[in-house]
Amino acid sequence: MPFETDEESGGIAELKQANKIQPHIAINDSSDIQLNSFRDFLIKNRGYILFALTSMLLIYRNNLQPLNFLIVIILFFWAIIRLIARTTIFSKGELSRDKPSLKRKTKIFSLVISMFITFIIVSSTLFLNFSPQVGGDSLPYEVSPNFRDGTFHNLNPTDISSGNVSFLELLVQYIVSDDHRSPNIPLPTKEFEKLNLEADEISITWLGHSTLLIHTNNVTIITDPIFGEDNMDPLFFGPMPFIYQHTYELEDLPEIDYVFISHDHYDHLDMGTIKQLEDSEFFVPLGVKAHLLRWGIDEKNIEELDWYDEINISSELNVALTPSQHFSGRGLFNGDTTLWASWVFNLNDKSIFFSGDSGYMEEYVTIGEKYGPFDIAFLESGQYNEAWNNIHMFPEEVIQAGIDLNATTILPIHNSKYELSLHHWDEPLERVTAEGERRNLSVATPMIGESFVLGKTIPNRAWWTNVSDGPDLFLKDNIIVGVIVVPLNIVSIVWIVLSLKHNKSLNRSIEKVTNSEEE
């Protein structure tokens, strides 16, 4: 017998002994032998363990990692149910705790699942009611033409889900993981350096995602500032920011005069960063003020605007809040109670557009006619998907938006920091630059942290190429692992089948011996 199990060496004698001590317990198979130690457990289940490990390795090597998470969760629940089965819970009428009936297992499973769901509901309710990160409750804005029936609305009715992709298709896309959704190595970045500017010059620095520093000799602006290397709020399992070669802190930047927020999503409005900026002046879309007030920002430092409201901030800076096509919300029940927007800056007679988050909309033509031409347009380009193309633009639409806005140059933002969609992390940059070339629109691609002067040389180096390859991962890429994992998986299956067969014949022998002894 090539796959001899432990029970074979004296197994019958052991079983007989066990049967004598506990004659009322029927012996159905070898699993009735009490496991005395973890070692015994490993030996007894070695076939199953080898099968689980090799199968998970195969899944991992085939980019189906989320399936492994699912397997781990199932095993976790299975272990909990097994543990509970050893107690007296629901044991009334059961002869053996080691062989719980299907009815008892179902009861225990229902109990565990109900406890789990209760935990999720209670913890989310506690979070939504007590965590300051959710922000404040905004008041109804009946005066705004964009506010109806308790919420804000896009210019044209917009569903977040496009309906183009079924739930099942999307689920499969999520399950089929992909190594290139995040870079495998720290992204090449530049250390922030403050440029020496001529009188009216404007320096621009992209700090990843939608955070842009716009700086002149007299004015410093920041958009949607997110600093820190923690997981993105609201909870600890929010996406981690990509690792950069350089870290950026507010203390390293010029003092920020004005902060402009596009909307209240967590990747644009960060409580910790806002608190650090408490001495700056804030300009936010309607409703977002409630969040800032809850975080301790002085009301006199916050200005709220509706779409197409304009403010003359200083002799050098005029701004307007303009529409975007998106949505808002930080909790389960405050969706669309604050407004989302784009911004127009007129700074030192240069026109600048900042898109915030938006799907492609015809309104870009109107904004272009009203406030264009733009010297530069920072346009969201990343986190798109066919399933939600109404609220995030595809790269080709980004170029169309730049043309509609009458922008001289566009700079793609909302990429290279978080994995919030299913595309490769560098795909937005690849596609936007290719489409820009095709349609003859200048695309600025500064490195993260790199400052440049608006109207002078536009940085356009493809800094992201060859970054995503990263180092080889031993378990994933090694050929020897690939060659041995399949035979090992097959061996484990044979092992399991042979042990099951062996246990069956062993039980038959025991029954025969027991019967003959009783006779």
In angstroms, what is the minimal distance from the CB of 221 to Fe ion? 20
Residue closer to Fe ion, measured from CB, 341 or 447: 341
In angstroms, what is the minimal distance from the CB of 404 to Fe ion? 21
Question: If residue 152 lies in a helix (H) or strand (E), which one and from where to where?
Answer: strand 151-152
Q: Which of residues 282-321 bind Fe ion (CB under 5 A)?
A: none
In angstroms, what is the minimal distance from the CB of 326 to Fe ion? 6
In angstroms, what is the minimal distance from the CB of 160 to Fe ion? 10
In angstroms, what is the minimal distance from the CB of 288 to Fe ion? 12
- What separation in angstroms does the CA of 109 have from each of 71, 113, 115, 121, 338? 16, 6, 10, 18, 41
**In whole angstroms, what is the distance from residue 208 CA to residue 325 CA?**
22
- Token code pair at residue 479: 């050929």
In angstroms, what is the minimal distance from the CB of 297 to Fe ion? 21
> Angle at the Cα of 194 (from 303 to 357), degrees rounded to 5?
45
Q: What is the dihedral of CA 33, 38, 39, 45, to 10 degrees?
A: 60
- Token code pair at residue 485: 């994992």
Residue closer to Fe ion, measured from CB, 265 or 431: 265
DSSP annotation of 144 reads: S
Residue closer to Fe ion, measured from CB, 90 or 384: 384
357 in contact with Fe ion (CB under 5 A):
yes
392 in contact with Fe ion (CB under 5 A):
no
424 in contact with Fe ion (CB under 5 A):
no
Residue closer to Fe ion, measured from CB, 357 or 435: 357
Q: Which of residues 174-233 bind Fe ion (CB under 5 A)?
A: none
Report the SS3 class of residue 60. Answer: helix
Looking at the chain, how many residues does it have? Answer: 519
- What separation in angstroms does the CA of 337 have from each of 80, 137, 142, 233? 42, 8, 12, 19
Residue closer to Fe ion, measured from CB, 341 or 347: 341
In angstroms, what is the minimal distance from the CB of 423 to Fe ion? 16
Selected range binding Fe ion among 9-17, 100-108, 349-357, 431-439, rule: CB under 5 A: 349-357
Residue closer to Fe ion, measured from CB, 216 or 325: 325
Residue closer to Fe ion, measured from CB, 104 or 209: 209
**In whole angstroms, what is the distance from residue 304 CA to residue 287 CA?**
7
Instruction: Tell me the site size for Fe ion, rule CB under 5 A.
Output: 2
Q: What is the dihedral of CA 134, 136, 140, 145, to 10 degrees?
A: -60
Q: Count other C-beta atoms under 10 Å from residue 434's C-beta.
A: 14
> Angle at the Cα of 352 (from 262 to 154), degrees rounded to 5?
40
CB 31 within 8 A of CB 5: no
In angstroms, what is the minimal distance from the CB of 102 to Fe ion? 47
In angstroms, what is the minimal distance from the CB of 415 to Fe ion? 13
Residue closer to Fe ion, measured from CB, 233 or 357: 357
Selected range binding Fe ion among 247-255, 290-298, 343-351, 357-365, rule: CB under 5 A: 357-365
Contact string (CB under 5 A) for Fe ion, positions 447-486, x = contact: ----------------------------------------
In angstroms, what is the minimal distance from the CB of 263 to Fe ion? 6
| 283 DSSP β-pair partners | 260, 303
Contacts of 78 (CB under 8 A, 6+ apart): none
Residue closer to Fe ion, measured from CB, 244 or 327: 327
Is residue 131 classed exposed, middle or buried when 0-12, 13-18 and 19+ CB atoms within 10 A define those classes?
middle
Residue closer to Fe ion, measured from CB, 253 or 393: 393
Token pair 């506990």: residue: 22
Contact string (CB under 5 A) for Fe ion, positions 248-277, x = contact: -----------------x------------
The residues of the shown chain that bind Fe ion, judged by CB under 5 A, are 265, 357
